[in-house]
Amino acid sequence: MKKFLLWLHKWLGLFTGIIVVLVSLTGCIYVFHDDLKKVVYPNHFYLVNDKKETNTAALPYSAIERLAQEAVGENYPINRVDIYPAKNRTWVFRALKTDKEAFGIGNEIVYYKRVFINPYTGQVQQVEDSKREFFYQVLQLHRNLWLGSKYGGWVVGGSTVLFLVISVTGIILWWPKKWKGKTFKRSFAFDFSVNWKRLNYDFHNLLGMYSFLLAILIGFTGILFAFPTFSKSVENTLNKVDEAKFQVMEPTSFDFVDQVYVNTLDNAVQYVLQTFPTADMVSLRLGDKTSTEHNLQVRLEQDKTSKFEWIYFDKSTGQITSLQDHTYQSIALGSKVNSLKYDLHVGTIWGYPTKIMAFIGSLICASLPITGFVIWYNKSKKKKKKK
C-alpha cells in the first residue's frame, strides 16, 4: 500500500508541479493585493488632497456616474460601482465585458476599464486600463493561467484537486512508525547538520506536514471557486444540517427612504451611506437593465467579503422591497461556508495574522513541488549511476 501511495504522490506531484508553483506564488502576491495596490497606486484609491471631507456630502450618485461615464467613453458602459463611505476614499466605476467562451485572457477580457473619482468634487483622478494592470494579470494567472476561464479554470481546478490528493498521500507517507525516540524527533525537527540532499528531503517532508491543514483549507476553498456547481452543491448539502434553525421571518416593514432626488438610485445610495457610515464598501451592479429593483450590497467590515447585507429598492418608488442579511449569525451552515470561502482562501478572516498565515502557507505550497522534484531527480541520477 505504501509503495502505491509513494508512486501516486510522486507522479501526481511531477504532473502538477509547475501549475502548483505558479498558482501558489501568484496566491502569495494576491493575499496582499489590496494593501499593495494602495501603496503602488495611492491616487487611485485616496483623494489627492489627502483631506477627509468630513463636512461635505457626496454629490448625487447619478451626477458622479455621468462624469465617470464621460471619462471612460460611451463605448465602455459602466456596469459596477464600488462606493466607499470613508471620507478620504474615491469611488470606483467599472466597465467590464468578457467572453467566457474565448481562449486566452487577451480574448476573454474584451475590455476592463476603471474610473477613480472624487465623489465630493466630481474630479476624475485616474482612468485605468485594468485589463493590463499588474495585479489583475496576477489574479488571472492564479485563476486560469492566462488561458481563459473555460479552459484554464479546469486546468487550475483539476490540478488543485490533485494537489489535495498529493497532500493527503504526503501526510500518510510522513506518518511516523514510532512516536518516540529518534524516529519521532526526525519527524518533527530539522537537522541542519546533515548534507543538502537530506536537508532538502526534510524540508519537503516537514514543511508539507506543518502546512498540511492550511494547504487543505486553501486548496478546498480554491476548488469551490474553480467549480461553481460543486460549490453550490456543497452549500445546499451543508444547509440541510441546520437550515431549520434559520427560518427567519422576512420583515413586514422597512425604513422609509426620503425621495430627495428625482432619480431613485440617488436616494437609495444616500440612504445606504447615511445608514451604514462605518461600512467598508457599498457595491452596486448596473448590468441588468430589465430589473425592477436597485440592489446594493453593503460590505460591513474592511477587507471582508463574508459579512454583508443586500438591500433592494423599487426603481419606481425608491422604497425598500427586501433585505438579505448575510452576517454569520443569520444564515445556515452552507451559506456561511459559501460566504466565508474568499476570506478563508486569502486569509482575510481575522486580518493580518491570518493573511500572513495564508501567505506563508502559499509559499510553502510553492516550494513543495520544487523540493519534491529535487528528491526525484537525485534518486533518478543515483539509479542511473548504479546501472
E-only strand ranges, the chain: 80-83, 91-98, 109-117, 124-129, 281-285, 293-299, 308-314, 320-326
- pLDDT by residue (tens digit) across 212-223? 999 999 999 999
Instruction: Identify the pLDDT of residue 36.
Output: 96
CA atoms within 13 A on the CB side of 158: 11
Phi, psi of 382 (to 5 degrees): -65, -40
Lowest mean pLDDT among 87-91, 176-180, 228-232: 176-180
Q: Which of the two residues, 288 and 4, has the higher pLDDT score? A: 4
C-alpha 42/C-alpha 51 separation (Å) is 13
Q: Which of the two residues, 54 and 106, has the higher pLDDT score? A: 106
With H, G, I as helix, E, B as strand and everything else as coil, classify residue 232: helix
- pLDDT by residue (tens digit) across 14-42? 999 999 999 999 999 999 999 999 999 99
- Which of these, 57, 58, 61, lies nearest to 264 by C-alpha position? 61
> Residue 303 has which C-alpha cell?
477587507
Q: Position 71: which residue type?
A: A
> Residue 344 has which C-alpha cell?
478563508
Bridge partner residues of 326 (DSSP): 308
Instruction: Identify the pLDDT of residue 332.
Output: 81
Instruction: Identify the pLDDT of residue 54.
Output: 58
Given a contact cutoff of 8 angstroms between Cβ atoms, the answer to whether 335 and 348 are in contact is no
- pLDDT by residue (tens digit) across 203-259? 999 999 999 999 999 999 999 999 999 999 999 998 888 766 555 555 668 999 999
Lowest mean pLDDT among 93-97, 173-177, 329-333: 329-333
Report residue 82's pLDDT band, with 50, 70 and 90 as the boundaries. Answer: very high
- pLDDT by residue (tens digit) across 330-383? 678 888 888 999 999 999 999 999 999 999 999 999 999 999 999 999 998 877
